[in-house]
Amino acid sequence: MERTNSLKWDTITRQEMAMILVRAFEYKTGKPVPASVDASFTDGANISPWAKNAVSAAAELGLIQGRGNKQFVPKGHVNRAESVQVISKLLAVS
């Protein structure tokens, strides 16, 4: 298959997924997500500054969680199981 649009096939990181989730949550509920305190992930220092609020908000809302040992792994790629889980959680929001 020829790649005509390179971004179409790129993977996304967990911190990027958190940003997408928060924006989708705000769109679905019609309400802005309030700024939240930093999520207590042991690798929180590795979360990019632009994603910190989104990661904390998504974790506080129960849309996303760490991978184990209280680590978020912000620059790790989202796998299929995680994608299905977060989409399911987002769809369940009323």
pLDDT at residue 1 in the model: 44
Confidence of residue 28 (pLDDT cuts 50, 70, 90): very high
Q: Is residue 61 domain-resident?
A: yes
In this structure, is residue 41 part of a structural domain?
yes
Judge whether 2 lies within some domain: no
Tokens standing for 33? Answer: 């997500």
Domain that holds residue 61: 12-91
pLDDT at residue 7, rounded to an integer? 64
The confidence score (pLDDT) of residue 6 equals 63
Q: How high is the mean pLDDT of the chain? A: 88
pLDDT in tens, 34-76: 877 777 899 999 999 999 999 999 999 999 999 988 999 999 9
In a domain, 3, yes or no: no
pTM score, two decimals? 0.84
Q: Is residue 1 part of a domain?
A: no
3-state secondary structure (DSSP) of residue 47? coil
- Sign of the torsion angle spanned by Cα atoms 63, 35, 68, 75: positive
44 within some domain: yes
Sign for the CA dihedral angle at 75, 5, 82, 36 comes to positive
